[in-house]
Structure 1
């Protein structure tokens, strides 16, 4: 049975009501409310849930703020990841928002929806907002399954996510590839010509190319091993004959790296090459799109291409693939 007890100040004035629910087989539940009506409603809810076997202990979630959970998540989850910085930055932004002061049990979908509006007002892209929401969603999952907050619901699951933009459709057209490679040969960075050719052949990301080590390259077997990738999985990339010829032409470095280039250096060199070649609207990451599309045009199926590129879902792979209608027509015969 529930007991409702008035709470008084030192002058005897009622300042609230304490509700206490005792039921055999369950720990005593106590909570204080401003009004007697709220205390009675809460008591009826707890008693009903206990009788139906649906009750879950809310004390942990009712006494823990989102900010406290973020700090714990950073310590126990994020810190264990190989590349924790991107997630850390996202969680730090959540910490600075007013929602971080709310108790976990009190956060609803509408609270998250308001943050989404704020992010859109800040100029964040739809995919960026989705990444922020993904981190928050996983935090709630961990809190529910591992931190004793079984009663909470995940508010991220109930909100409408921003729509993803269409994947970039920029591919090399006309004689752009020849012009780009010739311009790369003229660049002050001697590695850029090899890196660009290698990117077009392998669909590897910029950071994956720059971090490639000779110890992970098997030229006779025509395979490059990527032990640390963006999605955290090990990947073995098959090398075309052109990719093998690119690597075979390189000298071996004492530090074990294949290239003497940092990701930012590659971007700057690539942008210079595009300007010299009068190529507009092309980014280094577009070479990954180009390579992925060429693999399909060579007849590889989606599972084969995904194994090479490292895409975990066919939906993401589709966004990176833009097949030329002219090439598809040739395949039709």
Structure 2
């Protein structure tokens, strides 16, 4: 039974049910207190209220992450990449915390521990996954979290735009190291990444029916931003594609993103070019497109960028290349005069 008592100038209603935490609320009118108490009792009886505090003590962050991976991550286009991030998060002690002990302080500790290992941009992406996981748990899974603990944490500053270019000696080291690699796909994959600006996942999902050597194009029906695009193929890209065997509908059959990641890390170590990411090849491609004289719309067509500001983050022109272009332009003006 609910307890209704007079407290000063107001009426307090308190509801107690075995297996549920006591709840109370104050009202100016006694009739409102009685009505509220009856509604809450019905809700508890119908199990409409959130789970009890006992559930918070038995469910861990890791439990939520496992369910999130199965129900949410699995439906995403970048599922492989997100699964890797989830694996990293679950390896941290934050994952073993029960929801009853989960606080913004614990999330901040995770942030600081990760910042000692990786850059701010990586930590921001991991925290975004955590925040979405807790939000889905609160709104869709009935998890009795009163608030999202990630929202109380200051996010690290975004990573500075990478300005690393693939210098000649770096390219030579990579090519030399590939000679002893067991992964047959590394050389053509790297060459196509540089020549087309495609992402790793786009290259691995490329199928021969979408490659037209006659038109010199490769069509990508599904990309990271959800928009299809058709990439123009350079003569070098054409040469690489022609040399690949067509034993499967996929250009790179039976090659997973994780396999490429591991092969790239081994290659990077053999070549002695630590810190170079496979994604840096996309930056290199975009910069080369501009140096070749392509306009902003033409480069955006190749890279798939729909935001010019983001495209500029990918672009790192060599000052000497700009100087050569200015010299040619100046010489042309002098000759015409």
State the TM-score, normalizing by the size of structure 2. Answer: 0.63
Q: How does 1:111-260 map to 2 (within 5 A)?
A: 111-121=106-116, 123-147=117-141, 152-173=146-167, 176=169, 179=172, 183=176, 194-227=188-221, 229=223, 231=224, 233=226, 235-243=228-236, 245-247=238-240, 249-250=242-243, 252-259=245-252
Q: Match of 1:20?
A: 24
Q: What secondary structure sits across from 2:219 in the alignment?
A: strand
Q: Match of 1:2?
A: 12
**Alpha carbons of structure 1 residues 162 and 311: separation in structure 2 relative to 1, 3 Å:** farther
Checking the alignment, whether the CA contact within 8 Å between 1:199 and 1:205 is kept in structure 2 is: yes
**Alpha carbons of structure 1 residues 75 and 25: separation in structure 2 relative to 1, 3 Å:** farther
List per-residue Cα deviations over 1:169-212 (Å, max 9, x = no partner): 22244x54885798589777876654444222201234533443
Q: What secondary structure sits across from 1:161 in the alignment?
A: coil
List per-residue Cα deviations over 1:251-270 (Å, max 9, x = no partner): 54222343579526863796
Q: Match of 2:105?
A: 110
**Alpha carbons of structure 1 residues 284 and 147: separation in structure 2 relative to 1, 3 Å:** closer
Checking the alignment, whether the CA contact within 8 Å between 2:12 and 2:24 is kept in structure 1 is: yes
Distance 2:243 2:304 in 1: 26
Distance 2:107 2:262 in 1: 38
Cα-Cα RMSD: 4.6
List per-residue Cα deviations over 1:213-240 (Å, max 9, x = no partner): 21221223332133555x3736434123
State the TM-score, normalizing by the size of structure 1. Answer: 0.64
Distance 1:211 1:18 in 2: 55
Unaligned 5+ segments in structure 2 are: 1-10, 26-32, 43-47, 330-337
Distance 1:79 1:156 in 2: 22
Moved more, 57-66 or 162-171: 57-66
Moved more, 261-270 or 128-137: 261-270
Unaligned 5+ segments in structure 1 are: 8-16, 31-56
Distance 2:137 2:202 in 1: 33
**Alpha carbons of structure 1 residues 107 and 96: separation in structure 2 relative to 1, 3 Å:** closer
Whether 2:264 is the aligned partner of 1:267: answer: yes
Moved more, 128-137 or 266-275: 266-275
Distance 1:232 1:212 in 2: 16
Distance 1:281 1:133 in 2: 23
Q: How many residues align?
A: 289
Q: What secondary structure sits across from 2:243 in the alignment?
A: coil
Q: What secondary structure sits across from 1:201 in the alignment?
A: helix
Q: Match of 1:78?
A: 73
Q: Match of 1:59?
A: 50
